[in-house]
């Protein structure tokens, strides 16, 4: 696998989004081309940032990883808590097959080796929202290892210049989510909601193959699309179904990796890019000012746009890992190893899951490019919005206009309308049918493209009129009768002459 982008950062390199105000406008963009940047004016060797990610994806399943309680976002507090979830004495974990299948599916989609035998471990720490005093996870032998994920990003924010990169996936492990603690500072009390306690998580560990916020963001976005395509996680960051922690360090070229910090509390992809870039910049400044980087956990403050050390009174925790004695090793089968006498409801067959994997985003994009002759960057744009590809394909089916042109209309006009009004594709007042209708008028040269845009603006109001009705109402038809045109032209000329 490709080892990072080798992008080099310099303090003085001023391009890109810009950092938070207190630190001056000095945050730097990534050199996505992958080439080395010559030493800066200062003559100092540039810095190499290294970014790795730990991503927790909540598994989309009806019930929790080890208990029968339901999984649901925003249910009334403590309404989805089984005896096991509350760690009542004497309760035992029972592994949810659906969660295993989701992890296998995800592992296969990320080109991992699926371990036919994986193990569960207990990770101990005391916390109010961890009722058992330990989390069941897969520390020794996780369910999937050694994968990779390819993702693309554009250079210098230009859609036309895309590069594809690969990040190695170290492992995917199954583990329990914790509950939620709500701190009431005024009454100095902590309220605990255990609805989330025990929900299945896949922890995806990405190797430190990235070098800037933009890359990290692009990798996570691609992972998100993969998970959503598979249905193994809904992966909505705002609902906490996808949580990203970034490990960031910087070092001089040729030198060993620097001390890394872990940045937490990142709750959108946009903030991920910001947080990583901020942290890189902070570390560079710290080091250039003769400071040192502490191996610490920092939280991203989205309001201030910076990272701050997290209070960690306990210091370094020793998690006292121990094999989970109540769960036998998780054994997976393939077509070859599947025992004949085994109840098929009781086993997970890797090959069976492999055969049923849906087209992954990369494949879908390639197919779009090939089938419709659209530009690769347009295929990215289509897949980036939930439902947009289907919308596009529906329009194409219903119109004579070339897909290449259709995609332009969708991305330039429809999508920007939706974005302006913060609507999803499904919520669009202009259906694929209406848009196809409109584009057909344009294609048949019954209206001009300027008029089409006017009609689209009318359609947006959602008054239930068809494009043709609007065209007629507003008299936007192109005049195709030569005589009529001649008459109009003559009239104009005559008018001129009279003056």
Partner 1 sequence: AALKGALRLQVSAALKEGHVTPTELCQQCLSLIKSTKFLNAYVTVAEETALKQAEESEKRHRRGQPLGVLDGIPVAVKDNFNTAGIETTCASNMLKGYISPYNATVVQKLLDQGAVLLGKTNLDEFAMGSGSTDGIFGPVRNPWSYSRQYKGKSVPKSHSEDEESNWVITGGSSGGSAAAVSSFTCFAALGSDTGGSTRNPAAHCGVVGLKPTYGLISRHGLIPLVNSMDVPGILTRCVDDAAIVLGSLAGHDPKDSTTIQDNFKPFELPNLTDVSKLSIGIPKEYHAPGLSSEILALWSKAADLFKNAGAKVIEVSLPHTCYSIVCYHVLCTAEVASNMARFDGLEYGHRSDMNKSTESLYAATRREGFNDVVRGRILSGNFFLLKQNYENYFIKAQKVRRLIANDFVKVFRSGVDILLTPTTLSDAVPYMEFIKEDNRTRSAQDDILTQAANMAGLPAINVPTALSKRGLPVGLQFIGRSFQEKQLLTVAKWFEKQVKFPMIQLEEVKRHDRNVFQYQKSASFS
Q: Which of residues 64-93 bind partner 1 (CB under 8 A)?
A: 83, 86-93
- How many CB atoms are closer than 10 A to CB 442? 22
* Of residues 126 and 256, the one with the C-beta less far from partner 1: 126
Kindly compute the dihedral angle of the four CA atoms of residues 101, 356, 241, 134, in this order, to the nearest 10 degrees: 10
SS (H, E, C) the chain: CCCCCCCCECCCCCCCCCCCHHHCCCCCCCCCCCCCCCCCCCCCCCEEEEEEEEEEEECCCCECCCCCCECCCCCCCCCCCCCCCCCCCCCCCCCCHHHHHHHHHHHHHCCCEECCEECCEEEECCCCCCCCCEEEECCCCCCEEEEEEEEEEEHHHCCCCEEEEEEEEEEEEEEECCCEEEEECCCCEEEEECCCCCCEEEEEEEEEEECCHHHHHHHHHHHHHHHHHHCCCCCCHHHCCEEEEEEEEEECCCCCCCCCEEEEEECCHHHHHHHHHHHHHHHHHHHHCCCCCCCCEEEEECCCCEEEECCCCCCCCCCCCEECCCCCCEECECCCCCCCCCCCCCCCEHHHHHHCCCCCHHHHHHHHHHHHCCCHHHHHHHHHCCCHHHHHHHHHHCCCCCHHHHHHHHHHHHHHHHHHCCCCHHHCCCCHHHHHHHHHHHHCCCCCHHHHHHHHHHHCCCCCCCHHHHHHHHCCCCCCCHHHHHHHHHHHHHHHHHC
Give least dist CB 146 to partner 1, A.
25
* Of residues 129 and 286, the one with the C-beta less far from partner 1: 129
* Of residues 93 and 147, the one with the C-beta less far from partner 1: 93
Q: Which of residues 311-340 bind partner 1 (CB under 8 A)?
A: 318, 320-322, 325-328
- How many CB atoms are closer than 10 A to CB 384? 14
Contact, 118 vs 81, CB < 8 A? Answer: no
* Of residues 318 and 499, the one with the C-beta less far from partner 1: 318
Task: Print the binding letters for residues 115-154 with partner 1: x by CB under 8 A, - otherwise.
Answer: -------x-x-x-x--xxxx--------------------
Give least dist CB 246 to partner 1, A.
25
150: exposed, middle or buried (Cβ count in 10 Å: 0-12, 13-18, 19+): middle
* Of residues 13 and 333, the one with the C-beta less far from partner 1: 333
Give least dist CB 384 to partner 1, A.
42
CA-based torsion, 38, 43, 45, 46: positive or negative: negative
For 25, 131, 255, 290, the CA distances from 261, given in Å and listed in that order, are 22, 28, 18, 17
Among 39, 94, 182, 492, binds partner 1 (CB under 8 A): 94
* Of residues 130 and 435, the one with the C-beta less far from partner 1: 130
Give least dist CB 188 to partner 1, A.
9
* Of residues 72 and 190, the one with the C-beta less far from partner 1: 190
Give least dist CB 145 to partner 1, A.
21
Q: Is 200 in the site for partner 1 (CB under 8 A)?
A: no
* Of residues 186 and 498, the one with the C-beta less far from partner 1: 186
* Of residues 20 and 131, the one with the C-beta less far from partner 1: 131
Give least dist CB 321 to partner 1, A.
7
422: exposed, middle or buried (Cβ count in 10 Å: 0-12, 13-18, 19+): exposed
Among 17, 37, 95, 259, binds partner 1 (CB under 8 A): 95
* Of residues 121 and 215, the one with the C-beta less far from partner 1: 121
* Of residues 10 and 122, the one with the C-beta less far from partner 1: 122
Q: Is 190 in the site for partner 1 (CB under 8 A)?
A: yes
Give least dist CB 325 to partner 1, A.
4
Structure tokens at 371: 């089938």
Give least dist CB 122 to partner 1, A.
6
Give least dist CB 194 to partner 1, A.
8
Size of the site for partner 1 (CB under 8 A): 30
* Of residues 133 and 462, the one with the C-beta less far from partner 1: 133
Give least dist CB 128 to partner 1, A.
6
Give least dist CB 53 to partner 1, A.
24
Give least dist CB 343 to partner 1, A.
9
Give least dist CB 124 to partner 1, A.
6
* Of residues 24 and 328, the one with the C-beta less far from partner 1: 328
Please choose, from the candidates 243, 128, 134, 131, the residue with its C-alpha nearest in 3D space to the C-alpha of residue 181.
128
Residues making contact with partner 1 (CB under 8 A): 83, 86-95, 122, 124, 126, 128, 131-134, 190, 192, 318, 320-322, 325-328, 346
């Amino acid at each position: 696998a490709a080892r990072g982008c080798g992008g080099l950062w310099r303090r003085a390199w001023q391009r890109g989004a810009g950092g938070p105000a207190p630190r001056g406008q000095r945050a730097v963009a990534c050199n996505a081309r992958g080439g080395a940047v010559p030493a800066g004016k200062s003559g100092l060797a540039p810095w190499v940032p290294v970014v790795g990610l730990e991503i927790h994806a909540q598994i989309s399943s009806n019930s929790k990883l080890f208990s029968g309680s339901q999984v649901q976002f925003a249910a009334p507090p403590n309404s989805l808590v089984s005896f096991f979830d509350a760690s009542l004495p004497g309760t035992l974990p029972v592994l949810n097959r659906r969660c295993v299948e989701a992890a296998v599916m995800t592992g296969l989609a990320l080109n991992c080796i699926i371990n036919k035998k994986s193990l569960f471990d207990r990770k101990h720490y005391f916390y109010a929202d961890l009722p058992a005093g330990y989390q069941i996870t897969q520390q020794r032998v996780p369910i999937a290892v050694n994968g990779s994920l390819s993702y693309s990003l554009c250079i210098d924010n230009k859609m036309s210049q895309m590069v594809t990169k690969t990040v190695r996936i170290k492992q995917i492990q199954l583990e329990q989510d914790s509950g939620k603690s709500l701190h009431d500072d005024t009454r100095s009390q902590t309220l605990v909601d255990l609805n989330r306690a025990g929900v299945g998580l896949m922890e995806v560990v990405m190797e430190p193959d990235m070098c800037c916020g933009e890359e990290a963001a692009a990798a996570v976005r691609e992972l998100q699309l993969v998970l959503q395509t598979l249905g193994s996680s809904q992966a909505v960051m705002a609902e906490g179904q996808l949580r990203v922690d970034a490990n960031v360090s910087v070092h001089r070229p040729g030198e060993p990796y620097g001390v890394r910090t872990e940045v937490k509390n990142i709750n959108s992809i946009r903030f991920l890019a910001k947080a990583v870039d901020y942290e890189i910049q902070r570390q560079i400044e710290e080091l250039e000012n003769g400071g040192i980087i502490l191996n610490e956990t920092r939280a991203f403050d989205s309001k201030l746009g910076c990272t701050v050390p997290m209070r960690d009174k306990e210091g370094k925790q020793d998690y006292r890992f121990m094999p989970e004695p109540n769960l036998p090793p998780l054994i997976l089968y393939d077509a070859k190893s599947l025992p004949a006498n085994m109840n098929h409801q009781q086993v997970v067959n890797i090959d069976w899951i492999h055969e049923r994997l849906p087209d992954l985003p990369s494949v879908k994009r390639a197919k779009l490019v090939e089938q419709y002759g659209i530009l690769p960057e347009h295929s990215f744009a289509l897949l980036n919005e939930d439902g947009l590809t289907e919308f596009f394909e529906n329009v194409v089916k219903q119109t004579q206009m070339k897909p290449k042109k259709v995609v332009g209309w969708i991305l330039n006009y429809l999508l920007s309308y939706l974005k302006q009004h913060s609507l999803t594709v499904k919520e669009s007042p202009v259906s694929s049918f209406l848009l196809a209708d409109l584009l057909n008028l344009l294609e048949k040269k019954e209206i001009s493209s300027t008029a089409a845009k006017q009609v689209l603006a009318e359609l947006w109001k959602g008054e239930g009129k068809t494009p043709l009705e609007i065209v007629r109402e507003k008299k936007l038809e192109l005049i195709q009768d030569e005589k009529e045109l001649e008459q109009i032209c003559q009239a104009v000329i005559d008018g001129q002459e009279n003056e």
